[in-house]
Amino acid sequence: MYQILLILHSLNRWLVLMSLLFTIYICWQGYRSKKVFSGFDNTARHLTATISHIQLLLGLYLYMISPIVKFNVAEVEGTALVSEHLFFRLAHISLMVISVVLITIGSAKTKRAESDQLKFKTVLLWFSIALLVILIAIPWPFSPLAIRPYFRSF
């Protein structure tokens, strides 16, 4: 179960990133060209929020069963700034929960925004900040915080 969740959580990170980038891009285009906030834009907003919620659920489940979170295993001397245990136990979960909250608030505010321009602006602001936080908190192969592969396979 742990391996399956880890693979799904790793793969879904690409969906989170692609949906965020795509929605930010179309909203930037819409805002610049003063377009109407269409059904397509709205679906992209909704889908992006849903994908991030799925990632949150996968992450929470992983958090409960991960040996890295449970045990502070002594690590081989490395260049990481924090131990993997601390990173996943505190930093990763906090930053990622914050980013999903930002996406959720942004998504809800967009629904209530009165003008099309304001809808585009709201998505742009909240989703961009969330993207930045996510990029920092992902354990990239080049991250100084924790190192994980780009892809995991079954």
* Surface-to-core class of residue 73, CB atoms within 10 Å of its CB (0-12 exposed, 13-18 middle, 19+ buried): exposed
Binding mask 17-56 for ligand HEM (x = CB under 6 A): -----------------------------------x--xx
Binding part of the chain for ligand HEM, among 10-18, 35-43, 108-116, 119-127 by CB under 6 A, reads 10-18
| 119 near ligand HEM, judged by CB under 6 A | no
How does 24-53 read in b/e, with b if 16+ C-beta sit within 10 Å? bebbeebbeeeeebeeebeebbeebbebbe
Q: What is the amino acid identity at position 119?
A: K
Nearest to 96 by CA among 153, 38, 36, 145: 145
- Residue of minimal Cβ distance to ligand HEM: 59
Instruction: State the residues that interact with ligand HEM by CB under 6 A.
Output: 6, 9-10, 13, 16, 52, 55-56, 59-60, 62-63, 66, 68-69, 88, 92-93, 96-97, 99-100, 134, 138-139, 148-149, 152
